[in-house]
Chains A and B, each alone.
Chain A
Amino acid sequence: GAGVSQSPSNKVTEKGKDVELRCDPISGHTALYWYRQSLGQGLEFLIYFQGNSAPDKSGLPSDRFSAERTGGSVSTLTIQRTQQEDSAVYLCASSHMATEAFFGQGTRLTVV
């Protein structure tokens, strides 16, 4: 595709359930980022993948959060035992080298 694709666009889940959020980056982009944006708030860095290097996980808020990137392309962000405070928009971005990061439309997660 032409841009960063995220799925699903919306997800409602019950507290305590696990969720998986998917990101398809732009083809050829070596870097992939996950950010979280709470209502009306800024962008909170979660995790960063760059090529074959070990991911920078310094932004993950708890061990309930994990992410992987398979084959240097698609990434999945997993949230285990979801809590209401996990409700937010989860944004994925990709870039090539140290240039513009392109964002997807985000996944709006609601934990009820």
Chain B
Amino acid sequence: QQQVKQSPQSLIVQKGGISIINCAYENTAFDYFPWYQQFPGKGPALLIAIRPDVSEKKEGRFTISFNKSAKQFSLHIMDSQPGDSATYFCAASGSGNTPLVFGKGTRLSVIA
């Protein structure tokens, strides 16, 4: 039972381009939607997170767009750089500090 579906599995973007990763969830009780970035040999690190009371959150070059009715959220990386090359995971959890459920990840490669 996969509660968070993530796509694409891999993504190649030209330097300066926009990287877009999509996630869909099933559980309407989810109310916290973070994105994690993971470099090889490292643990995942929080990149940006959103709660369903807003439809968009922007932090620097990273933006989360959230569509509550469609139960979808996406990560946009503007002006993508080679240093952004990593694996990105979306996740979701419900209230009460419940465990995060992760998508299967997207391997992003930004090429010059």
Taking beta carbons and an 8 Å cutoff, which residues of A are in contact with B?
Answer: 4, 30-31, 33, 35, 40-43, 45, 48, 50, 56, 59, 91, 93, 95, 97-98, 100-106
> Could you say which residues of chain B place their CB within 8 Å of the CB of A45?
99-102
Contact check, A105 vs B42: say whether CB atoms are below 8 A apart: yes
Contact check, B104 vs A41: say whether CB atoms are below 8 A apart: yes
> Could you say which residues of chain B place their CB within 8 Å of the CB of A95?
97
| Complex interface bits, B74-98 against A, C-beta within 8 A gives 1, otherwise 0 | 0000000000000001000101111
List 14 A-B residue pairs with CB atoms under 8 Å apart, sorted by A's residue number.
A4-B43, A35-B102, A40-B107, A42-B105, A45-B101, A56-B98, A56-B99, A93-B43, A98-B95, A98-B96, A98-B97, A103-B44, A104-B43, A106-B43
Chain B: number of interface residues, binned into ranges: 20 to 34
Contact of B100 (CB < 8 Å), options: A4, A33, A105, A106: A33
> Could you say which residues of chain B place their CB within 8 Å of the CB of A48?
98-99
Give CA–CA (A37, B53) in the complex, Å: 31
Taking beta carbons and an 8 Å cutoff, which residues of B are in contact with A?
Answer: 6, 32, 34, 36, 41-46, 49, 89, 93, 95-105, 107
Q: A42-B89, A103-B45 are in contact. Are A97 and B99 (CB under 8 A)?
A: no
> Could you say which residues of chain A place their CB within 8 Å of the CB of B99?
33, 45, 48, 56, 59
Nearest B residue to A31 by beta-carbon distance?
Answer: B97
> Could you say which residues of chain A place their CB within 8 Å of the CB of B49?
100
